[in-house]
Amino acid sequence: MLIPPPSGHDAAVTVVEYYDYRCPFCRRAHPDMVRLLEEHGDNIRYVFKQFPVLDRDGENGVSHFAARAAIAASKQEVFPAFHEKLMTHEGSLNKGVILDFAEALKLDMGRFRSDMDDPALSAYFEQTINLARMIGISGTPTYVINGQVLAGAQGYDAILDLVEKTRN
């Protein structure tokens, strides 16, 4: 199952997903997001928000590494496939597995590593975490659907219900 590309900015509903690649609940909820986009993607603007909050080692942890890697993969236009690999990997993620995914997708590894080391990413993560905390988000997965917060892996029906209730 592969996440379809996000739809246009003029969609009736915007879904922002805050997730951490190491979060077991995010990974469990991932099929719900895939289904939502497969069935309703034409009416949804989907925004992926890296929210690496599970690291004990801060920016040196695996969650930050995975988030940086996903952003670097997006610069080589393979974000959906890379995201899918991270979300569906069985077992715990580590830096070696993440790099193996990049190599399997035939990324330019020099460019990939350079993009991962971009200092602007630290500011991006800090900004994302600060914004999330301002609106009351502390864990993953959390969805902001047309301004309404839905916290936790509540299942497809709960997500679809809020999508339908908030449709413009």
Alpha carbon 151 to chain centroid, angstroms: 15
* 11-68 confidence digits (pLDDT tens): 889 999 999 999 999 999 999 999 999 999 888 999 999 999 998 776 789 999 999 9
Average pLDDT over residues 93-115: 97
Dist. CA 159–CA 156, nearest whole Å: 5
Burial class (CB in 10 A: 0-12, 13-18, 19+), 55: middle
Which stretches of 7-162 are assigned E, i.e. beta strand?
13-19, 44-50, 142-145, 148-151
The predicted pLDDT at position 1 comes to 37
* 140-150 confidence digits (pLDDT tens): 999 999 999 99
The predicted pLDDT at position 168 comes to 59
Residue among 91, 96, 94, 69 nearest 82 (CA): 69
Q: Which domains can be identified in the chain, with CATH numbers?
A: 13-166 (3.40.30.10)
Q: Is the pLDDT of residue 81 over 60?
A: yes
Q: Is the pLDDT of residue 115 over 70?
A: yes
The predicted pLDDT at position 3 comes to 44
The predicted pLDDT at position 60 comes to 81
- The dihedral region occupied by 114, where left means phi > 0, alpha psi between -120 and 50, and beta the remainder, is alpha
Look at 4-8, 19-23, 157-161 and tell me which has the smallest mean pLDDT: 4-8
Burial class (CB in 10 A: 0-12, 13-18, 19+), 105: middle
- Single-letter residue type at 150: L
Q: Are 56 and 62 in contact (CB under 8 A)?
A: no
